[in-house]
Structure 1
Amino acid sequence: MLVGLISIALLVAAQSVRAAPSAELWERWSAHDPASTTVLQHDAWDAFLSRYVSEHADGVNRVDYAGVSRADKRKLADYIDALTATRVSGLNRAEQQAYWVNLYNALTVVTVLDAFPVASIRDIDISPGLFSDGPWGKKLVTIEGEQLSLDDIEHRILRPIWQDPRIHYAVNCASIGCPNLQTSAMTAANTEEFLDAGAVAYINHKRGAEIVGGRLVVSSIYDWFEEDFGGDDAGVIAHLKQYANPDLKAALADVTKVSDDRYDWDLNGTVAFTKSSKKRKTAQEWRSRGS
Structure 2
Amino acid sequence: MSAFAVGNDDIHQQWAEHDPSQTFTPNHEPMSQILGFITDASKAQDKYSYFRLQGAALKYLNDYKGYLERIPVSQLNKNEQLAYWLNLHNLLVIEKFANNLKKAKRINKKRGTPQKAGKWWREKVTNVEGVALSINDIEQNVLVRHWDDPLFLYGLFYGVKGHGFSGTQGFTGASVTSHLEGLAKKFIENDSNIEIDGNEVAISSLLGWNKESVFNDDEQKLLGHIQAYATGNKALQLASVNVIQDKYDFDWKSLAQRPPRQSTANASNVNNSSAPVYRGGS
TM-score by length of 2: 0.78
Counting helix residues as a fraction of each chain, which structure ranks higher? 2
State the distance in 2 between where 1:87 and 1:235 align: 34
- Deviation at residue 252 of structure 1 after TM alignment: 1.8
SS of equivalent to 1:77 = helix
Alignment equivalent of 2:252, drawn from 254, 258, 265: 265
List alignment gaps of at least 5 residues for structure 1: 1-23, 273-291
Which residue in the other structure is 2:273 paired with? Answer: none
Offset, 1:195: 1.0
Identity of aligned residues (%): 27
What secondary structure does 1:110 align onto?
A: helix
Q: Partners in 2 of 1:122 and 1:249 — Cα distance?
A: 31
Residues 50, 27 of structure 1: CA spacing in aligned structure 2 closer, same or farther, 3 A cutoff? same
Q: Secondary structure in 2 aligned to 1:135?
A: helix
- What secondary structure is seen at the aligned counterpart in 1 of 2:119? coil
- What is the Cα deviation at residue 53 of structure 1? 2.0
Shift of 1:212: 4.9
**Unaligned stretches of 5+ residues in structure 2:** 1-9, 260-282
Shift of 1:258: 1.8
Q: Which residue of 1 aligns with 2:107?
A: 121
CA distance in 2, matches of 1:88, 1:180: 23
Q: Which residue of 1 aligns with 2:91?
A: 106
Q: Which residue of 2 aligns with 1:275?
A: none
CA distance in 2, matches of 1:238, 1:142: 36
Distance in 2 between the 1:251 and 1:33 partners?
41
Which digits, 9 at most, give the CA deviation of each residue in 1:193-213, with x for residues without a partner? 111011011111123201257
- Aligned-residue Cα RMSD (Å) equals 2.4
Alpha-carbon shift at residue 162 of structure 1 (Å): 1.9
CA–CA distance in structure 1, aligned partners of residues 149 and 11 of structure 2: 14
User: In structure 2, what is the Cα distance between the partners aligned to 1:57 and 1:217?
Assistant: 24
What is residue 56 of structure 1 aligned with on the other side? 42
Q: Which moved more, 1:93-102 or 1:173-182?
A: 173-182
TM-aligned CA distance change 1:264 to 1:54, over 3 Å: same
The one-letter amino acid of 2:248's match is: D
Task: State yes or no: 1:195 paired with 2:188.
Answer: no
Query: Which deviates more, 49-58 or 179-188?
Result: 49-58
In 1, Cα distance between equivalents of 2:17 and 2:167: 28
Structure 1 residues 30, 132: closer, same or farther in 2, change over 3 A? closer
TM-score (norm 1): 0.76
Q: Deviations over 1:138-175 (max 9, x none)?
A: 11011221101111111111122121100100112222
Q: Are the equivalent residues in 2 in contact too, given 1:101–1:186 (CA < 8 A)?
A: yes
Per-residue CA distance 1:47-68 (angstroms, 9 max, x = gap): 111232244222x332122333
CA contact (8 A) 1:83 1:103 kept: yes
1:254 Cα deviation (Å)? 2.2
Asked if residue 254 in structure 1 is aligned to residue 249 in structure 2, the reply is no
Q: Structure 1: which amino acid aligns with 2:69? A: T
Query: How many pairs does the alignment contain?
Result: 244
1:109 to partner: Cα distance: 0.4
CA distance in 1, matches of 2:174, 2:207: 28
- Map 1:223-238; keep pairs closer than 5 Å: 223-227=208-212, 228-229=214-215, 231-238=217-224
